[in-house]
């Protein structure tokens, strides 16, 4: 139609444009209409979209690479869409329901399934072409996963290297506010540990929450994990959470069942050492952290309860009866991304059983541990520090072997558990400091401090020596390297047998105070240093030092015998704490204070009494010093010996002794000095022994302050005098005596001793000058072990002055002479046996001059020899040439001994010695024999004298001679009396001299004599006759057969005068019977 109202035909171009417009509207409108119709349909209920999805199935999950089939694909059986826009509004989310989801592997078999999945999508995101998850719910999940050896987790099938994940587009999970998994089963093929695990059932409900603008999760999780190879490997975990009431965070509460960590040892090998069920309860608090949109763990409180089981730690196995732990972890999230951690161990308690006495609670151990640890970062710290405090109320030392970790001071544990065999430790408290500059792997112990008390300890300080018993102790841990034990109130038992102390049995020594330090705890082997004081009897302390294990007196024994007294010993012993300890590994030091000691055989067989000595001993040597009474003499002594190997010329041992000798000390020593010694003398003895076991002893006696008065020599105090000698030793035996020297006023004695193997020892005085005596001498002692040896003395003097011995010192006042009680004849002179045999001796004397009395002439050219067989004088020879010759001999003969004494000029002998100066001439001879068959050895002999003259005869004797005309004519000089014969037969026995048939006289006058002289009783009982006109008067007595009637006395006369002498020898009474001259012959015996 036109404007004028008429119809006209439209052009073709107008129709085409209209068609295009309508087509465009259809292309835009139809999807909108379709979508609108779809939403309208979903508003009425779920819609099955499976036909729409199926063309796109299966979906590639893992591609197989270029031109390769996919490795894993995902398929499903049904898909539903649901939208509640009509009810909840247009922006309500779209829910996609997928059923029977299956994942197929390379072989197209189903490996994972999900029974049903509900996925909630953001509708607006879909409108804008994106996918944003709002919620995910999975039900009936069955997954099979694999952890490779590289730790990566994926599906449980092999994936070729070229495989890659399929690009499924971008999925936004930021709006996900809920996730639910129910009835899930997850199987894990853990190739890293070679195990298979099943997590079933697995249920979780998680909700997105916020606190202080940070996101977090709340809800609950519950699952159980079981090992397929080991059904006992089972853990159940339950966790739930709620926002904190103050809105500052979220707290998760987690609980597990009681699980043996050793069941999970395939995950971590270290878990095999924990074989006790442990249940854990934990509260983890999530808090806002800088730089994170999520709440981060800020604190965790952990509580664990352990049941009965076994735990291995530090190399030791423990039997746990039960225990618990309460630990708190605090985390500070800093802006720099680090997370400093503070761990607080409120308490860890453990009750450990004694494996040998599991039912005895008193023999168990209760351990309480607390502490704290700080780290600059929880995961990668640079610095870690902290401390752990451990307390044990009580433990028996024999049980420490079960509780002491093997790797903690291994040597110390071995020594303590082996050698402290009894006792109780209590109040054990230990603080262990930890530190590291290199993170968690570098955490190490930086310090240890603490201690314990103990009582009733038995300590084997050096086996096999008897242990210290009954000790009370306190132990301190002093740093990483040292453990100190102080002890007291104990005692040590000592076996005295075989220890050279003169007693057997068991001794007891008080022990303590003392200490033991175990050092080197951080090293492989530890060292023990023991210091203790021992107090007891000297014999017990020396028996201890003689223990073979100490290598002191057992290795180098002293010759001391029978030690007695008190001793305090300070003993130090350092040794490595290992089994095979040699003497070279040990250091031993001992110091003893010995008081009021008594020791035998200290010096030359003499003992020490009332000694106070300080003794020091080490493995290298021994030394002592002190003072005491040595052999009765107060002395100071020092001694040292080297236990080490010394060269032949090196000094092995030495001693020094000093003593001041006074008359009192000499008397106490058993030397009765009387008036012979006064003042004091200083004795010094020095002893040295060398490595070749040769030794020297220097003896010096300083007599300057001495006053000496002996018969042969005397010295006033203040005048220098001394005596010296040097002894040579070999292996402790005297092999030489040299440089014997004694000097002083009128004194010079020099000599030496000759000591040769298999020879008798000899003392040789090369020269002597003692007052007036000069010469040389020799003394030979019996040879040891050789029977029949004698003591031989030889004196060879130019001048031998024995007058002081015979007459005494002329300067001494003459004491009043007591009344004589008898004349004792020495048994050596008579040969009388008395007691057992003694030592045989012989004396050989040669003197050019021998003075025996200053008022009488000296003997000249004296030669004498005396020999005693130990029972009696067996042989003798004596001769002198002046002032008149005399000789004596005693020679064995058969069962007796013959004695002969000859004085060729009796008159000269009696005159020279001022005995009877008025006798001239006469050869006197005493001859006879001793009968040794009897113990008293009686003597039977006679004295004969050839004619001699009495130059001044008494008047009565001359008148009796002149009665005879023959006698008057025979007298040459009226004042002289000639004795033509003298015969005295004598016997001697038991102190009685008997004269029988004694006769003397000349032709003019004769006499007879007989009777007894008792020398022991000083009495005399003699009788005889005086025969005048002897030459004629004796003739009737010579008549054969009847002569005795005229002269009953031998060589008597018919007419004679009898006399008698009786009484004490110093005042005898003389009785003469003049009337007997009128009784001839035998009548004299009657009347």
> Would the pLDDT of 1072 be above 60?
no
Q: Which tokens in the block code for residue 652?
A: 């092995």
- Is the residue at 692 inside a domain? no
Is 914 in the same domain as 1053? yes
How large a percentage of the chain has pLDDT more than 70?
A: 82
19 contacts: CB under 8 Å, gap ≥ 6 = none
Q: pLDDT band at 960, cuts 50/70/90? A: very low
Contact present, 896 and 907 (Cβ < 8 Å): no
- Residue 109 or residue 35, greater confidence: 109
How large a percentage of the chain has pLDDT more than 90?
A: 32
3-state helix, strand, coil in the chain (%, to 5): 15, 55, 35
236 contacts: CB under 8 Å, gap ≥ 6 = 222, 223, 224, 256, 257
Question: Averaged over 321-334, what is the pLDDT?
Answer: 94
> Would the pLDDT of 589 be above 60?
yes
Q: Which tokens in the block code for residue 672?
A: 């009765």
Q: pLDDT band at 45, cuts 50/70/90? A: low
Q: How many beta carbons lie within 10 A of that of residue 60, not counting itself? A: 16
Say if pTM beats, i.e. exceeds, 0.75: no
- Is the residue at 665 inside a domain? no
- Is the residue at 187 inside a domain? yes
- Is the residue at 1079 inside a domain? yes
Round to whole Å and give the CA distance between 946 and 942.
13
Question: Averaged over 810-830, what is the pLDDT?
Answer: 55
Last residue within a domain, chosen from 192, 217, 236: 192
- Is the residue at 1023 inside a domain? yes
Q: What is the pLDDT of residue 88?
A: 61
CB contact burial 275-292 (16+ within 10 A = b; e otherwise):
bbbbbbebebbbbbbeee
- Residue 100 or residue 708, greater confidence: 100
Host domain of residue 131:
42-192
Is 1071 in the same domain as 933? yes
Q: Which tokens in the block code for residue 11?
A: 């052009």
- Is the residue at 571 inside a domain? no
List strand residue ranges (DSSP E) for 894-969, in order: 896-903, 919-920, 924-931, 939-945, 948-950
Q: Which of 169, 166, 160, 230 has its CA nearest to residue 194?
A: 230
Q: Which DSSP state fits 814?
A: P
89 contacts: CB under 8 Å, gap ≥ 6 = none
Strands 981-989 and 977-979: unpaired
How many domains does the chain contain in total? 3
Q: What is the pLDDT of residue 435?
A: 94
Last residue within a domain, chosen from 421, 443, 459: 459
Question: Averaged over 94-108, what is the pLDDT?
Answer: 90
Reported as type and span, the H/E element at residue 13 is: helix 12-44
- Is the residue at 584 inside a domain? no
Last residue within a domain, chosen from 443, 459, 475: 459
Is 319 in the same domain as 186? no
- Is the residue at 952 inside a domain? yes
Q: What is the pLDDT of residue 748?
A: 93
Any bridge partners for residue 484, and if so which?
A: 476, 517
Is 946 in the same domain as 1075? yes
Question: Averaged over 862-884, what is the pLDDT?
Answer: 89
Instruction: Give me the half-sphere count of Cα atoms (radius 13 Å) on the Cβ side of residue 659.
Output: 24
Question: Averaged over 424-435, what is the pLDDT?
Answer: 91
Mean pLDDT, the chain, integer:
82
Round to whole Å and give the CA distance between 1013 and 1020.
5
Q: Which DSSP state fits 635?
A: E
Contact present, 736 and 755 (Cβ < 8 Å): yes
> Would the pLDDT of 562 be above 80?
yes
Is 188 in the same domain as 313? no
> Would the pLDDT of 167 be above 80?
no
Q: What is the pLDDT of residue 1043?
A: 44
């Amino acid at each position: 139609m036109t404007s004028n109202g008429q119809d006209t035909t439209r052009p073709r171009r107008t129709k085409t444009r209209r068609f295009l417009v309508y087509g465009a509207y259809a292309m835009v409108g139809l999807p909108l209409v379709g979508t609108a119709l779809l939403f309208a349909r979903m508003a009425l209920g779920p819609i099955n979209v499976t036909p729409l999805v199926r063309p796109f199935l299966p979906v590639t999950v893992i591609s197989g690479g270029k031109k390769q089939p996919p490795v894993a694909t995902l398929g499903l059986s049904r898909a539903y869409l649901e939208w509640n826009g009509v009810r909840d509004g247009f922006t309500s989310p779209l829910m996609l329901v997928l059923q029977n989801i299956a994942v197929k592997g390379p072989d197209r078999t189903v490996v994972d399934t999900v029974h049903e999945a509900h996925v909630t999508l953001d509708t607006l995101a879909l409108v804008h072409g994106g996918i944003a998850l709002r919620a995910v719910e999975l039900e009936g999940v069955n997954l099979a996963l694999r952890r490779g050896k590289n730790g990566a987790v994926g599906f449980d099938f092999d994936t070729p290297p070229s495989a890659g994940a399929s690009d499924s587009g971008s999925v936004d999970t930021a709006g996900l506010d809920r996730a639910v998994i129910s009835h899930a089963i997850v199987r894990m093929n853990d190739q890293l540990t070679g195990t298979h695990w099943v997590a079933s059932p697995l249920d979780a409900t998680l909700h997105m929450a916020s606190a202080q603008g940070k996101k977090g999760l709340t809800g609950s999780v519950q699952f159980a994990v079981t090992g397929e190879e080991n059904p006992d490997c089972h853990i159940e975990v339950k966790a739930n959470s709620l926002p904190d009431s103050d809105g500052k965070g979220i707290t998760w509460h987690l609980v597990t069942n009681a699980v043996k960590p050793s069941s999970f040892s395939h995950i971590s090998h270290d878990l095999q050492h924990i074989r006790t069920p442990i249940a854990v309860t934990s509260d983890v608090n999530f808090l806002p952290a800088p730089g994170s949109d999520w709440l981060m763990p800020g604190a965790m409180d952990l509580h664990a309860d352990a049941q009965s089981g076994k735990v291995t730690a530090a190399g030791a196995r423990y039997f746990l009866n039960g225990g618990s732990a309460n630990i708190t972890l605090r985390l500070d999230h800093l802006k720099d991304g680090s997370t400093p951690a503070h761990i607080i161990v409120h308490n860890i308690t453990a009750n450990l059983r004694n494996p040998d006495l599991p039912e005895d609670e008193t023999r168990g151990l209760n351990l309480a541990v607390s502490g704290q640890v700080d780290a600059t970062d929880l995961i990668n710290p640079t610095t870690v520090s902290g401390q752990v405090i451990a307390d044990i109320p009580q433990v028996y030392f024999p049980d420490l072997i079960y509780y002491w970790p093997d790797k903690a001071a291994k040597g110390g544990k071995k020594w303590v558990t082996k050698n402290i065999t009894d006792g109780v430790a209590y109040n054990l408290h230990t603080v262990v400091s930890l530190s590291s500059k290199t993170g968690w792997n570098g955490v190490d112990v930086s310090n240890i401090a603490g201690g314990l008390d103990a009582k009733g300890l038995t300590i084997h300080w050096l086996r096999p020596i008897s242990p210290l018993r009954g000790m009370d102790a306190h132990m301190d841990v002093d740093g990483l390297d040292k453990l100190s034990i102080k002890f007291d109130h104990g005692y040590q038992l000592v076996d005295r047998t075989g220890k050279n102390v003169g007693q057997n049995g068991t001794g007891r020594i008080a022990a303590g105070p003392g200490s033991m330090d175990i050092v080197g705890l951080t090293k492989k082997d530890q060292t023990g240093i023991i210091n203790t004081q021992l107090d007891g009897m000297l014999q017990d302390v020396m028996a201890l030092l003689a223990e073979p294990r100490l290598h002191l007196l057992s290795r180098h024994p002293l010759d001391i015998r029978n030690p007695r007294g008190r001793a305090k010993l300070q003993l130090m012993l350092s040794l490595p704490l290992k089994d095979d300890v040699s003497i070279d590994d040990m250091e031993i030091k001992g110091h003893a204070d010995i008081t009021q000691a008594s020791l035998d055989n200290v010096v030359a067989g003499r003992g020490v009494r009332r000694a106070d000595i300080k003794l020091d001993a080490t493995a290298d040597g021994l030394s002592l010093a002190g003072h005491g009474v040595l052999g009765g003499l107060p002395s100071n002594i020092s001694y040292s010996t080297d236990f080490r190997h010394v060269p032949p010329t090196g000094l092995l041992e030495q001693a020094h002794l000093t003593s001041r000798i006074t008359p009192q000390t000499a008397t106490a020593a058993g030397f009765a000095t009387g008036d012979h010694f006064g003042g004091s003398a200083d004795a010094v003895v020095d002893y040295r022994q060398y490595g070749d076991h040769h030794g020297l002893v220097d003896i010096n006696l300083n007599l300057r302050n001495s006053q000496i008065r002996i018969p042969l020599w005397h010295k006033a105090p203040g005048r220098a005098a001394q005596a010296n000698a040097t002894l040579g030793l070999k292996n402790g035996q005297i092999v030489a005596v040299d440089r014997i020297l004694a000097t002083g006023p009128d004194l010079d004695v020099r000599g030496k001793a000759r000591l040769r193997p298999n020879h008798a020892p000899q003392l040789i005085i090369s020269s002597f000058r003692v007052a007036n005596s000069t010469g040389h001498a020799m003394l030979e002692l019996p040879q040891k072990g050789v029977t029949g040896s004698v003591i031989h003395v030889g004196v060879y003097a130019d001048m031998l002055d024995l007058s002081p011995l015979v007459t005494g010192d002329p300067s001494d006042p003459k004491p009043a002479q007591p009344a004589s009680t008898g004349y004792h004849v020495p048994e050596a002179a008579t040969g009388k046996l008395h007691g057992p045999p003694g030592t045989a001796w012989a004396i050989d004397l040669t003197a050019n001059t021998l003075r025996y009395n200053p008022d009488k002439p000296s003997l000249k050219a004296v030669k004498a020899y005396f020999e005693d067989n130990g029972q009696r004088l067996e042989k003798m020879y004596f001769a002198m040439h002046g002032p008149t010759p005399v000789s004596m001999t005693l020679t064995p003969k058969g069962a007796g001994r013959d004695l002969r004494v000859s004085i060729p000029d009796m008159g000269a002998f009696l005159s020279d010695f001022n005995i009877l100066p008025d006798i001239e001439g006469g050869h006197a001879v005493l001859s006879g024999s001793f009968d040794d068959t009897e113990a008293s050895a009686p003597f039977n002999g006679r004295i004969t004298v050839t004619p001699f003259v009495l130059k001044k005869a008494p008047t009565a004797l001359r008148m009796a001679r002149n009665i005879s005309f023959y006698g008057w004519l025979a007298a040459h000089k009226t004042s002289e009396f000639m004795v033509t014969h003298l015969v005295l037969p004598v016997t001697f026995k038991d102190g009685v001299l008997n004269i029988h048939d004694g006769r003397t006289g000349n032709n003019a006058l004769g006499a007879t004599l007989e009777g007894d002289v008792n020398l022991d009783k000083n009495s005399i009982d003699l009788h005889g006759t005086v025969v005048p006109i002897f030459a004629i008067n004796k003739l009737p007595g010579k008549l054969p057969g009847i002569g005795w009637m005229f002269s009953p006395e031998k060589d008597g006369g018919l007419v004679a005068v009898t006399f008698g002498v009786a009484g004490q020898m110093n005042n005898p009474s003389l009785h003469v019977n003049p009337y007997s001259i009128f009784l001839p012959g035998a009548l004299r015996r009657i009347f």
